[in-house]
Amino acid sequence: MQGLPEWAPRVKPGGRRRLRARLVALGVVDPDDVIESLPDDADDEVAEAALLTAVSRAGQQRND
């Protein structure tokens, strides 16, 4: 799994608005689905994993 671009802002705990902006910037079509799937107490690691998965799926959809 590849990392995120350097320019993508990092997520802080509770920063769902920032996470949504980051998902949109990285080309995720429906960022709200990703955000709603996260537990309320999600830490940076959980958010980062969800973000990488969503970005990977978005890239696969663009290539199909």
| Residue found under tokens 């309320």 | 40
- Would you list the domain boundaries of the chain? 16-63
C-alpha distances in Å from residue 7, one per residue of 29, 36, 57: 19, 24, 20
Taking a C-beta distance cutoff of 8 angstroms, is the pair 14, 43 a contact?
A: no
Q: Report which of 44, 49, 45, 51 is spatially closest to residue 11, judged by C-alpha positions.
A: 44
Q: Report which of 50, 45, 49, 13 is spatially closest to residue 35, judged by C-alpha positions.
A: 50
The predicted-structure confidence for 7-61, as pLDDT tens digits, reads as follows: 555 555 556 777 788 888 887 878 888 878 877 777 778 878 888 888 888 777 7
Residues 2-9, mean pLDDT to the nearest whole number: 57
Report pLDDT for 1. 41
